[in-house]
Structure 1
Amino acid sequence: MTTSTDLDTYVDPDDLNNNTSDNPSFDAVLDARLSRRNILRGSVGTAAAAVFGSLGASALGLADEAAAAPREKLLSFNPVAKSLADSVVVPAGYTASVLYALGDPLTASTPAYKNDGTDGDFEHRAGDHHDGMEWFGLDANGKPSATSTTRGLLAVNHEATTDEKLSSFFIHANGGTSTLPRPAAEVEKELAIHGVAVVEVHRKSGKSGKGAKWEYLKDSAFNTRLTTLTEIEIAGPARGNPLLVTKYSPNGTKTRGTLNNCGTGKTPWGTFLTGEENWAGYFTRPKGDDAARDGNKSVTALARYGRAEGASSRHGWETGGSEDKFARWINAKTGTSADGRDDYRNEMNGMGYIVEIDAYDKRTLARKRTGLGRFAHESAAFGKVVPGQPVAVYQGDDSRNEYIYKWVSSARWDAADANPANRLATGDKYLDEGKLYVAKFNADGSGQWIELSVTSPALSGYAKYPFADQADVAVNTRLAGDAVGATKMDRPEWCSVNPANGEIYYSLTNNSNRRVEPSGSSQTAPDSANPRAYSDIKGASRVQTGNVNGHILRMKEGAAGSAATSFTWDVYLFGAEASAAPGPVNLSNLTGEQDFSSPDGLAFSPSTGICWIQTDDSAYTDVTNCMLLAGLPGQVGDGRKVTLNYPKADGGGLTVDTYVGKAPTPDKLKRFLVGPADCEITGLCETPDGKAMFVNIQHPGETTSQANVTNPAKYTSQWPANVGYGAGKRPRSATIVITKNDGGRIGS
């Protein structure tokens, strides 16, 4: 999530740079092209076979349909024009409907949402800032189904809340309190609107998808919420470690809540993964805590994660009262114990993980998978699972100058685990024991996955932070990445794996700290995989600097596949305005029907193989609201080498070589959707037949002033009330469902 403001002058609490290591940002030259192959065919059989291996399309009930129907042409829709309208715009022949919005009741006894700031009981309502999302099918008997297309569960992240001056103002009657201390009643609302929801949806009419009407079921027994106060198990190498000891869990095996949930993943065994992204800013750390800790190594770790002594919290939740649920947000040594069992000095160590949830079973505690590392998680994307080979999970750390990671399981994939009796126990098998790697890129266009093992000399001898054990590596993963010289990247957001060829795509949303002549440890020079540093004019005069528009990197694993320790790379697309200079900025030669800025959400359709690209932008919003694009990418190495020359003030210059993927023709990349005012487009999943697609519209109207919360005429958005959904006029984050009017697959 980014905020629509000047990236040079505003420090977004979601995008802080805490990496002051001297690691390289990338080596310079990619001098060898890779072989070309035409992979993506666009047919359901090809895409399904790539994703499900021997299971194939027939097991999904799709092969007969594909054989009987004429071969479809993907991306046959007319591209949507850029728009500043306060509405969701989709191509002709498609319908977008609001399905599930902030405050919607999740039990039969919860009253309808009044949307005037007086509503409560958010533990039983939809949370705020809908983000990543996954589909879990149900058959007619309410049992898990991999093929159901008309009934299922949506597991939805509720990342954050629209706020200004501490308060989540749209959910409070008069905008909330903008000074400290915060009233307990306001804090309790805000604690409850964060987290995750599981909500049942179904298609209630329409034959073969034509005229289909979808609704959520507010009285479903499956509906549930996880909030900042829900008990969760600690799993993996950090379970029971002294770093997880708190007043709440003296043995370090549990914590409360999940926070700032952004990207998602779906495991091959049918569970939901949610990433805890910008959790650090919710904690305060008062002055004097360094001395209270005797200046031990925890001081170094806290600073690396953005909580140096004196750091204030995002919402002031710690001021809601003396109760434990408020005090836990004070990340300081306030007790006398040696290990932290009488305070919350270690509380922040319980946040920042991939959390595994069984969407079908709300009675089982979710598990934080510490082995996958602790950082600002976005999504978790699985490589293609192959019987007898380890399982790989790809991840990114969404902060400026942070790293790209991969987890490789010790257990080798057993096809019988695709439908296990105990789904979270299967997660124990593949996500608790394995190896965590971080990416480093070389000058010849290759790269290495470097294992983050406490036994490696780089970690065991790291002077800045002495690692005690592998649990310490899991909890302080950023420091481990520093120690091995990982490559600094331009905010790795979502990642996704191309089902056609297994290549891994990362959206690098932007980086305001790229400079031709860096100043200070927080700024980095352009390099091969993050090659742009430029100024962008927004409106009449406002200038943003750095890698303003972002890009999408793609990687190809070595011969060992998911277990490989080497890879090659290029850049699939560079975000840019179509009118920008084609050399230094518009490197992908985007046209007005394709141009975009700040790619964020990223997902490949398992049905069609389309690459869906979502934006969370502040650089191009004077021209268009955020958007969703559909692409048919090729493969690593299908493009060209480009050399960028940057002059310096001293008369010298910086030369950067990069590789740009094949420029997208109008039939290979199109704008599919534009959202309402001030929103982010995020979260995407489909029914298995690809005929219904669910997308989240996050924080419409976020630039509304808190002072105007009671004046609808001054809201910068009134969506979705302006399309007839729900009471009141306050804007609401929401899930929409998109269908094709002729009953066909989305994107065809």
Structure 2
Amino acid sequence: MAKHDLDPNYLDPNYEPVVNHSENTPFHQVLAARMQRRTVMKGTVGAALASVMGLGLAGCGGDSDSSSTTNTSDTPDADVPTTELGFKAVPVSTANEIKVPEGYSSQAFLPWGTPITGSYPEYKPDGTNTGADQEQQVGMHHDGMHFFPIDLKAGGNSSTEGLLVMNHEYINQGALHASGATYNSNGNRPTDEVRKEIAAHGVSVVHIKQDSNGTWDIVFGSPFNRRITGGTEMEIRGPARGYHKLFTKFSPNGNRTRGTLNNCAMGPTPWGTYLAAEENWHGYFKTSAAERPREQVRHGVDGTSRYDWELAENQADAYVRFDVTPGEGSATDDYRNEANTFGYMVEIDPFNPESAPQKRTALGRFGHEGVIFAPVKEGQPVVCYSGDDSRFEYIYKFVSSKPYYAATAGGYLLDEGTLYVARFNEDGTGEWLPLNLNDADFAAKVAQAVTDGVVGSIPFDGFENQADVLVNTRLAADIAGATTMDRPEWGAVDPNSGEVYFTLTNNSNRGKEGYDDVNAANPIVENRTGHIIRWTEAGNDHTATAFEWDIFVFAGEQGTETVVDDEVIVSLTDDNIFNSPDGLWFDYNGRLWIQTDGSDAAPYQNNMMLAANPETREIKRFFVGPVGCEVTGVVTTPDSKTMFVNIQHPDGNWPDSSDPRPRDATVIVTRDDDGVIGA
């Protein structure tokens, strides 16, 4: 029986069992100590939120004349740019359509099944497209994406032609097939159904161009149009390349694997490539082993799989690999290590369609939500951040060993360096803890864990080498003493101040029996609304190992307040209530865009996207999606006049009322006067 038969929530990509049983300090306890012992009302339910002590972070000042927020902090310095939000806020909505501000227009673009390459097979509304068709069509469940100007490699910044690259996180089997997922009398899946499901995952690279009338379309026949799927051959790079825990029948030397799965957010690199994140990949694998290795236990790989791909009728090697049960021979005779080749950031060069995607193991193996790069500096290391999107997991930072030089920069910079994990202290300071066996403090903690013989509930006898540390990143972070967080998802770096922002989406287990309880200073029972945290690196140097943090905003209903030094900095109103912040992106003008993936119950209704001014904390709702969707993935053209927003898992028959199947799609948003989005 598949896991989704046992728990209907299992098909939700946010479903992940709590597998962190370490005793590391949870973030809510840190926040409790960080907060002053006074409360403000949260909406009409009478719950209370504690207030945050001010840190004086750069960009935190400013007066707002907006009625949607209250800001009483000091006026920012004159040289700090002010980011206006020049649109009228959009009300919440229950309509099965896109809502944008007055003076803006929207249209659906590149829905699931759109032919983009090969023989360009047409989408069939009856669900009878084959697996081979899907390998040539836009995948399902659009997520993170980026627009690469077509002339980027030549130093240009075209806003009328480029490569739109997007992730496809997971699938809706009921919509994908004519009659949903099926099984034969022996309990096996039809082979072509499995092939089609694997093909609907991954990444799409689409060459698009705007005509003289402003209409965007696919450049048919372009060599750049490409599908990367759950079956595409890929290279393993970095410290785990060639490590024996990645040996498989397909790649006996541990240098290659097939496919990328559950790609949520992403990250464009400073050298013009695309990093796709592998998030809840664990659910695609199953094992019948009585004892599971720690690489599987710490991630939740167990006796069931999400889609039962290992049960394909023809039992081809491409499908049985999802059963990671050890055979009687060695690791090169089976796929016991296949799951160890997933959980990474995957680099794709959209301008080189013949290149193999690269799994960058130095960035760690966990439930990557995405990756965000700090601004690069010539001759300095590359720095990037990533969140592990699961309850009670961590936030990480990677600092390259080699310096960045624009003329020669490439993915090799991500193969050598130090991976850190964050610890948030009670006094508003923080530390980056290195996960490196050459670091004396970390080595001492590892030695103590060996003496103890257990980490959390997992038996522990040490790490073989640095590759072992990275394959077991979560376990290494447990040992280092990182701060557990409430589902860290997308990150963003303010291009003006250098501050780093992360969404902490929610944690429904907070306060439940058996989990960390609430207290007077942090009374968010079963934290279902989330918040956004931010920090400044010491000396505004992103390679620093210390930082200062605060809370940018608490999500919630009307009246939810974020308080700094006794002053209400944000008080949510009808214009900006939101819950479960997920997607996060700074546009080229310094506006912060916040996307949600939360409850669609009142008062929030359909999921949405809001814009924020990081200096004043003014927040306005800009966009509301159709019924049942997650609003995820956002980018604009360099001139900021065309915005692309992704809609994932809509209900009903959006975007085409005549189509019986819902179709994930990208939405193009423009201003009717051809102006800058959000201004």
Relative to the length of structure 1, the TM-score reads 0.78
Aligned residue identity for 1:570: D
The answer to whether residue 658 in structure 2 is matched with residue 731 in structure 1 is: no
Displacement, 1:626? 0.4
Question: Kindly tell me: are residues 36 and 551 of structure 1, through their superposed partners in 2, closer, same or farther at Cα, counting changes over 3 Å?
Answer: closer
Report if the CA contact (8 A) 1:40-1:633 is conserved.
no
Displacement, 1:622? 6.7
5+ residue gaps, structure 1, are 1-6, 42-70, 163-167, 207-211, 291-297, 421-425, 535-545, 635-661, 702-716
Counterpart secondary structure, 1:371: helix
Report if the CA contact (8 A) 2:587-2:593 is conserved.
yes
Question: Kindly tell me: are residues 614 and 38 of structure 1, through their superposed partners in 2, closer, same or farther at Cα, counting changes over 3 Å?
Answer: closer
Aligned residue identity for 2:531: H
Separation of aligned partners in 2, 1:35 and 1:345? 51
Q: Any residues of structure 2 matched to 1:321-720 within 5 Å, and which?
A: 321=313, 322-337=315-330, 340-417=331-408, 426-428=410-412, 430-455=413-438, 456-463=443-450, 464=454, 465=460, 466-515=462-511, 519-520=513-514, 523-526=515-518, 531-534=522-525, 546-559=526-539, 561-578=541-558, 588-606=570-588, 608-618=589-599, 620=601, 623-634=604-615, 664=617, 668-701=618-651, 717-720=652-655
Separation of aligned partners in 2, 1:531 and 1:414? 45
Counterpart of 1:30 in structure 2 is: 34
Displacement, 1:589? 1.7
The answer to whether residue 90 in structure 2 is matched with residue 91 in structure 1 is: no
Counterpart secondary structure, 2:209: strand
Counterpart of 2:202 in structure 1 is: 195
Separation of aligned partners in 2, 1:109 and 1:77? 43
Separation of aligned partners in 2, 1:187 and 1:348? 18
Separation of aligned partners in 2, 1:182 and 1:383? 45
Aligned residue identity for 1:492: P
Displacement, 1:12? 5.2
Q: Any residues of structure 2 matched to 1:51-70 within 5 Å, and which?
A: none
Aligned residue identity for 2:675: G
Report if the CA contact (8 A) 1:700-1:719 is conserved.
yes
Separation of aligned partners in 2, 1:357 and 1:264? 11
Counterpart of 1:277 in structure 2 is: 279
Q: Any residues of structure 2 matched to 1:185-224 within 5 Å, and which?
A: 185-206=192-213, 212-224=214-226
Provide, for residues 89-148 of structure 1, a one-character-per-residue CA deviation record: whole Å limited to 9, x for no partner.
111111111120100001262232122111121110000000000111114xx9655411
Question: Kindly tell me: are residues 326 and 36 of structure 1, through their superposed partners in 2, closer, same or farther at Cα, counting changes over 3 Å?
Answer: closer
Displacement, 1:531? 3.9
Report if the CA contact (8 A) 2:238-2:362 is conserved.
yes
Q: Any residues of structure 2 matched to 1:203-352 within 5 Å, and which?
A: 203-206=210-213, 212-286=214-288, 288-290=289-291, 299-308=293-302, 311-321=303-313, 322-337=315-330, 340-352=331-343
Provide, for residues 245-284 of structure 1, a one-character-per-residue CA deviation record: whole Å limited to 9, x for no partner.
0000000000000000001101111110110000000111
Separation of aligned partners in 2, 1:587 and 1:34? 13
Separation of aligned partners in 1, 2:149 and 2:550? 36
Separation of aligned partners in 1, 2:560 and 2:508? 18
Aligned residue identity for 1:24: T
The answer to whether residue 153 in structure 2 is matched with residue 105 in structure 1 is: no
The answer to whether residue 125 in structure 2 is matched with residue 125 in structure 1 is: no
Question: Kindly tell me: are residues 595 and 317 of structure 1, through their superposed partners in 2, closer, same or farther at Cα, counting changes over 3 Å?
Answer: same
Counterpart secondary structure, 1:721: coil
Report if the CA contact (8 A) 1:700-1:732 is conserved.
yes
Question: Kindly tell me: are residues 670 and 13 of structure 1, through their superposed partners in 2, closer, same or farther at Cα, counting changes over 3 Å?
Answer: closer
Question: Kindly tell me: are residues 579 and 218 of structure 1, through their superposed partners in 2, closer, same or farther at Cα, counting changes over 3 Å?
Answer: farther
Counterpart of 2:188 in structure 1 is: 181
Provide, for residues 567-605 of structure 1, a one-character-per-residue CA deviation record: whole Å limited to 9, x for no partner.
11111111101166999xx99420010000100010000
Counterpart of 2:457 in structure 1 is: none
Displacement, 1:526? 4.6
Provide, for residues 430-461 of structure 1, a one-character-per-residue CA deviation record: whole Å limited to 9, x for no partner.
10000000001112111100000124211244
Report if the CA contact (8 A) 1:136-1:144 is conserved.
no
Counterpart secondary structure, 2:110: strand
Report if the CA contact (8 A) 1:153-1:359 is conserved.
yes
Counterpart secondary structure, 1:124: coil
Report if the CA contact (8 A) 1:116-1:171 is conserved.
no
Separation of aligned partners in 1, 2:163 and 2:332? 38
Provide, for residues 322-371 of structure 1, a one-character-per-residue CA deviation record: whole Å limited to 9, x for no partner.
2111110001101312xx00000000000000011101001111100000
Relative to the length of structure 2, the TM-score reads 0.86
Question: Kindly tell me: are residues 143 and 444 of structure 1, through their superposed partners in 2, closer, same or farther at Cα, counting changes over 3 Å?
Answer: closer
Counterpart secondary structure, 1:506: strand
Report if the CA contact (8 A) 2:205-2:226 is conserved.
yes
Question: Kindly tell me: are residues 37 and 252 of structure 1, through their superposed partners in 2, closer, same or farther at Cα, counting changes over 3 Å?
Answer: closer
Counterpart secondary structure, 2:310: helix
Separation of aligned partners in 2, 1:200 and 1:326? 31
Report if the CA contact (8 A) 1:40-1:632 is conserved.
no
2:159 to 131, 146, 149: 149
Displacement, 1:620? 3.6
Report if the CA contact (8 A) 1:108-1:218 is conserved.
no
Aligned residues with identical type, % of pairs: 46
Separation of aligned partners in 2, 1:582 and 1:134? 32
Question: Kindly tell me: are residues 514 and 205 of structure 1, through their superposed partners in 2, closer, same or farther at Cα, counting changes over 3 Å?
Answer: same
Separation of aligned partners in 1, 2:8 and 2:122? 42
Separation of aligned partners in 2, 1:582 and 1:135? 34
Aligned residue identity for 1:610: R
Provide, for residues 620-659 of structure 1, a one-character-per-residue CA deviation record: whole Å limited to 9, x for no partner.
467510001000012xxxxxxxxxxxxxxxxxxxxxxxxx
The answer to whether residue 15 in structure 2 is matched with residue 15 in structure 1 is: yes
Report if the CA contact (8 A) 1:739-1:746 is conserved.
yes
Separation of aligned partners in 2, 1:236 and 1:186? 34
Report if the CA contact (8 A) 2:10-2:306 is conserved.
no
Aligned residue identity for 2:166: V
Counterpart secondary structure, 2:539: coil
Question: Kindly tell me: are residues 344 and 8 of structure 1, through their superposed partners in 2, closer, same or farther at Cα, counting changes over 3 Å?
Answer: closer
Report if the CA contact (8 A) 2:392-2:484 is conserved.
yes
Counterpart of 2:68 in structure 1 is: none
Count of matched residue positions in the alignment of Structure 1 and Structure 2: 613
Counterpart secondary structure, 1:133: strand
Report if the CA contact (8 A) 1:453-1:459 is conserved.
no
Separation of aligned partners in 2, 1:738 and 1:72? 23
Question: Kindly tell me: are residues 532 and 235 of structure 1, through their superposed partners in 2, closer, same or farther at Cα, counting changes over 3 Å?
Answer: farther
Separation of aligned partners in 2, 1:626 and 1:565? 36
Out of 587-596 and 197-206, give the one that drifted further. 587-596
Counterpart of 1:3 in structure 2 is: none
Counterpart secondary structure, 2:223: coil
Displacement, 1:414? 1.9
Separation of aligned partners in 1, 2:492 and 2:82? 24
Question: Kindly tell me: are residues 682 and 392 of structure 1, through their superposed partners in 2, closer, same or farther at Cα, counting changes over 3 Å?
Answer: same
Separation of aligned partners in 1, 2:666 and 2:181? 25
Displacement, 1:300? 2.5
Separation of aligned partners in 2, 1:268 and 1:40? 30
